[in-house]
Structures are given as C-alpha cells and as structure tokens.
Amino acid sequence: MTDLGDFNDFDPDDGDVEATTATESDFEPVTVEGVGPDRGIGTLAVSAGLSIGEDRDETCLRAYVTAKNRSDVRIGKYLLISYPDGESLFCRITTLEYAQEYYTDDATEIHARRAMRSSGIDEHDYKFMASLEPIAVLYEDDGELKRRMTDRVPKPETVVREATDQTEIKTGLKIPEEGVFLGHLSVGGEKVRTGAEPPTIDYRVKDNYESGDPLVFRHTLIAGGTGSGKTHSAKNVLRQYLSEARTYPVEAGSSQERRMAVVQFDPQDEYAQMHDDNPEMTTEFARRCERENIAHGGHEDTIAFIPKVEGSNYAADHHRAEQVEFTIPFSLVRNNRWLVAGGSLNDNQYNALDFLLDRYFRTGSTHTYRGFLSFLDDPALREELDESGRVHEATFDAVHRRVRSSAFNSVFDQDAAPITEQIHRLVRAGGLTVIPTYHVTNSRATEVIVLAVASLLIDQKLSNDPQFDRIKETPLVVGMDEAHNFLADAESAQARKVIGKFTEAAKQGRKERLGLFLITQDPQDIAEPVFKQVNTKIVLNLGDVDAIKSVNIPANLEKKVPYMEKGQMVIYSPDNSEPVELIGLSKCLTRHGRGA
C-alpha cells in the first residue's frame, strides 16, 4: 500500500501542482433576483408537469415564484400568462408551497439549531411554488377584450404576472362593466388594487335587457349571521334599485319604462331609516360614491306602512319617513284560504275549511272575520254538513277551533283603511314601502300580515286579469327580512300552499318584472323549491355548518365564510360572473342604526 504521508505536510508549491487560494471575490457573481413586479412574479415550471385538461384533475399548472416576489404572493390572487400569439391565460392561485431546492435533509438537529441561531432564512435555498387554476383565455376581437373557456396550454418558462388591469380582471371574471353595485373585488379580505383611478374594482350585477334579463328578476338572497352586516348590505343594494337613473320596461318588448318599486317587510324596524341621510357620511365618501356611480343618500319617497293590530302600537323616533296605517281585510282570504288555515291543519281539514269559506263568501255582500265566526257558530250548519257527508262533525269542530284565533281577531278588519284601498300608495314607481312588524308581538299575527300583503302583490303580478293595474304594470322587488320565518318547508297544508305560491312567483318573476329579495341568517330553513330559483347569492359571515352548506357555493369560498369579517362577502351568481370575494362599503348609503 502506498503511504500517502501526512496531509498537513502538503506543499502546493512542490512539483507541478499550481497553487490557488480561492476567495469570494474570485467567483463570478450570479444574479438570482426575481424579474420584479414590472414583468412578473416568476415563470411556469414543468418539473411536476404542465397540462390543461377538461377535467380539473387533468390540469397541472405550477409557477416558480422568484425570491423577490414571494412575500407579496397570496392564495386567490389573479394572474396572467401570455401565449406567443398575444392571447393570455387568466388564472388564480390555489396553493402555495415551499419545496427543497437541493437534495439535503433539513429535518435534523444541526439544521434546526443553525436555523434557530439565524436571523432569517435564505429564500434561494428553497423553491417557492404556486399552483394555478385556469379560469379563462383572454383575447382581442376588433379591439375589444373578450374571454372564452380555457382550451390551450401555455409554453414552459413563460413569465407569470399579476393581473393589475381593471379591464383584464373584469373580463377574466366575467364581471359586467355596468349594473347594480354590490362591493369591491377582494382576495383574502384585501381589496384588489390596480393602477387605475379609482384603484379598486367595482363588482356589479347585470341590470339591463341588452345583456339578458336584469338579474334582480332572477331573485337575490343575502345570508349572514348576527353582526355580519347583512342589513347594512341589503340597504345599500336596495338603494341602488331605487336610483332615479334606473328604469325597466313595464313588459316584454315595451318601449315604456318605469322605475322600480320596492316593498320591504321589516321585522326589526330598520328599513324605514332609508328615508334619511346617513349622518356619518363624509363629503369625501360621497364624492367617491359619485365617481363610481353609486346612488347614495336618504330616499325621500319612503313610506312606512304600519299594520294596525289590536293591542299593539307603533312608535318610531328613529326615522322621519311618512307613516300610513292599514288593515288586512278578510276579503283577501277569498283567494288565499290558507291565511286562516293555521299551521297544523291536515289535508282533510284544509279541504273542509276551503268548502266552508267558499260557502261563506257566497252569502251577503260584506265579509269579515267576525262574520265568518258567526257563520260557523250556527249549529244547524254543523248538523247539515255532517248529515250530508260533506264535512264530518269532528272535522268541522277541528276547523272551528283553528280559525278562532286571537291572532286572526287582532289582524283582520281593524280600525284603519284596508290595504286594498291604498294600492296607489303601497306600490309606487321609484318608491320604497316598508312594512314594519316589530311592534306586533304575536308571531302568528306577523305571519298573517306578511303573507297576506305578499300574496296580494304576487297574485296581482301573475294574474292575466288583475284587479290592480298599478301592481301589474310596475317593476317590483318584494323584500323579506328573516325570510326563513315565512318560507320554511313544512308538511302542513298551509305551508305547501305558501311555498307553492312563492315558487310560482319566483319562476314567473323574469317575465312579470317581479324580483324576490330574501334576507336570512338561516338559509337552510328556506324551502328548496323557492331557494333553487335564486340566482344571486350574497353570503356574509355564517358560523353554522348547515347554513354554509345550504347556500351551495364553491368549496374554496365556502371555507372562508366562517372567518370573514363584517362587510366581507362571497358572491355566487352564475349568470353574472365567476364566484368571487367582495368587500362591501364601510358606510351605509342611508341612515343605519338606532344610534345614528
């Protein structure tokens, strides 16, 4: 074996060995900085594959993010990847991850102690990878930017840049340029910024017939828990529909247009405040609204229609809207028998009630609730119907007990003008009618009031021979707060009649210029036949798992809902845009809150 000697005695000057003393300055520096925000955040990588398929599982789109840009990259951000011919792939970040740059094991005691002593990490020691979801291909057609479904894969090492142009982002997400303002586009609770003025991106819902039917007539749902800002948001949206600049054809193909009428049922007595300006509205905020074409300020044509209920008095010092009293005439029961059915009549009992009401309305010319009770109190009637086999005496007694209710007695035919005699004030083009029920302490009485007036509006809208042309010929939004209390699915005959009526209204709304505007903290309780007709869902913070699941929004947005702050929302409106996250306005556009 050859003796290699002592390495300590090695002299580089011996023999032909050339001495070299390496220092840091002897190496040529290599630039590894990112390309910067002016060009991109990184490049497409093929190390794990690069593919776009019809199925999401067949798609693999990953970008290497350069060290300089990593701190600014967030899940949900929108990106653009250029094709050689000038088209672009619009996509969003779905996953961010660090991966090993070199084949070393950093899960060791030595690495851990070294990292604990260090003031930071060297980003260049790791790969930072972003997984991307393709959304659309952007292309120009006669100078106009358009979108189509993703149908091609970009080249490897193509620069990936953040989407910062408003037109590119709106086109990529299919957000209309014009329409009803809902909020500003956001990602992870932060507004998306552009280089334009204003720098934010406004989200709007289609509201003209040139781009399809206005989505207000395809119905809207606002779902949010207590303190999420759902009433604040609802007021801001309704204020846009009441704008003087917004009109709708009175019927298909008509050149005659009218402003929207809004009838809002209000269990907490909050919406009549829309008559008044918000005292917290600053001049600068108002100017910003005007620059973005957002209607703001109190709506002068606001009337609080107060249901007269025996034993209840309405007192309001928190708004300056005009107050008009009304009562529910028993005559409305003629076409809506279920109003006095109660919640527990079975089909047999309901059929008996229907027969009795039909017979009652054939007698005399004046029909009242107390008159109907007197009609039922006739013992000869009970005996006659039992003997003839039309209504069994046990069924008759059950119906008699159900309709003799303190709630019905306190609601029907009170000392005020019937609602049917005030239609010209109830429905007004450009007018907001608020029907508060906070002062009504009996829940059954509240239900009768809300369903009676709502049914009157729906019946007239859907009728081919309406009694009130004012309702038929005026574009109308029927707003219902705490909608789950009135449109819940149930097994009773009454519930099926109610759901059937509102389902038909929802189906015919587009044709009849009728929009339902439902507000609830329990969307899972709204009957499915009505719920599935709703096109635009505005989802604020919800803590209940069943409630979140029921709104049926994409999984990536569903996970954010329990953690959203007040005013943050998810918009799912398939006929309007891609599902997106928004931030609503920080201030209410009208007065809001009892302390305001």
pLDDT in tens, 365-414: 899 999 999 999 999 999 999 999 999 999 999 999 989 999 999 999 99
Is the pLDDT assigned to residue 543 strictly greater than 70?
A: yes
pLDDT of residue 112: 80
Is the pLDDT assigned to residue 184 strictly greater than 80?
A: yes
Q: With pLDDT > 70 as the criterion, what percentage of the chain qualifies?
A: 92
Is the pLDDT assigned to residue 323 strictly greater than 90?
A: yes
Q: With pLDDT > 90 as the criterion, what percentage of the chain qualifies?
A: 77
Is the pLDDT assigned to residue 20 strictly greater than 70?
A: no
Q: Which residues contact 395 (CB under 8 A, 6 or more apart)?
A: 348, 349, 352
Q: Average pLDDT in the 31-46 region?
A: 68
DSSP codes of every residue in 230-251: HHHHHHHHHHHHT-TT-EEESS
The helix or strand, by DSSP H or E, that contains position 113, with its residue range, turns out to be helix 109-117
Is the pLDDT assigned to residue 22 strictly greater than 60?
A: no
What is the value of pTM for the model shown? 0.88
Q: Average pLDDT in the 508-515 region?
A: 93
Do the Cβ atoms of 287 and 306 come closer than 8 Å? no
The helix or strand, by DSSP H or E, that contains position 203, with its residue range, turns out to be strand 202-205
Is the pLDDT assigned to residue 35 strictly greater than 80?
A: no
Is the pLDDT assigned to residue 27 strictly greater than 50?
A: no
The helix or strand, by DSSP H or E, that contains position 374, with its residue range, turns out to be helix 369-376
What is the CB-side half-sphere exposure of residue 60 using CA atoms within 13 A? 9
pLDDT of residue 273: 96
**What is the band of 31 on the pLDDT scale with cuts at 50, 70, 90?**
very low
Is the pLDDT assigned to residue 596 strictly greater than 60?
A: no
Is the pLDDT assigned to residue 32 strictly greater than 80?
A: no
Do the Cβ atoms of 267 and 438 come closer than 8 Å? yes
Do the Cβ atoms of 196 and 593 come closer than 8 Å? no
Is the pLDDT assigned to residue 330 strictly greater than 50?
A: yes
- Show the DSSP H helices in 377-479 as ranges: 379-388, 393-403, 406-411, 423-426, 443-462, 469-472
Cis peptide before 198 (omega within 30 of 0): yes
327: DSSP letter: B
pLDDT in tens, 79-118: 999 999 999 999 999 999 998 877 777 788 877 887 788 7
Exposure b/e, 421-455, CB count within 10 A at least 16 = b? ebbebbbbbbbbbbbbbeebebebbbbbbbbbbbb
pLDDT of residue 595: 62
pLDDT of residue 252: 67
Lowest mean pLDDT among 111-125, 218-232, 326-340, 375-389: 111-125
pLDDT in tens, 426-472: 999 999 999 999 999 999 999 999 999 999 999 999 999 999 999 99
Which carries the bigger pLDDT value, residue 10 or residue 322?
322
Is the pLDDT assigned to residue 579 strictly greater than 50?
A: yes
Residue with tokens 């069994």, as numbered in its chain? 392
Which tokens in the block code for residue 485?
């209390």
Q: Which residues contact 371 (CB under 8 A, 6 or more apart)?
A: 330, 360, 364
pLDDT of residue 213: 85
Lowest mean pLDDT among 85-89, 199-203, 362-366, 582-586: 362-366
DSSP codes of every residue in 70-105: GGG--TT-EEEEE-TTS-EEEEEEEEEEEEESSS--
pLDDT of residue 3: 53
Three-class secondary structure of residue 254 per DSSP: coil
pLDDT of residue 21: 47
Helix axes 443-462, 493-512, angle to 10 degrees: 40
pLDDT of residue 14: 52
pLDDT of residue 36: 42
Distance between CA atoms of residues 585 and 145, nearest Å? 29
Q: Rounded mean pLDDT of the chain?
A: 90
Exposure b/e, 353-377, CB count within 10 A at least 16 = b? beebbeebbeeeeebebeebeebbe
**What is the band of 38 on the pLDDT scale with cuts at 50, 70, 90?**
very low
How far lies 488's CA from each of 142, 500, 518, 547, in Å? 51, 12, 12, 14
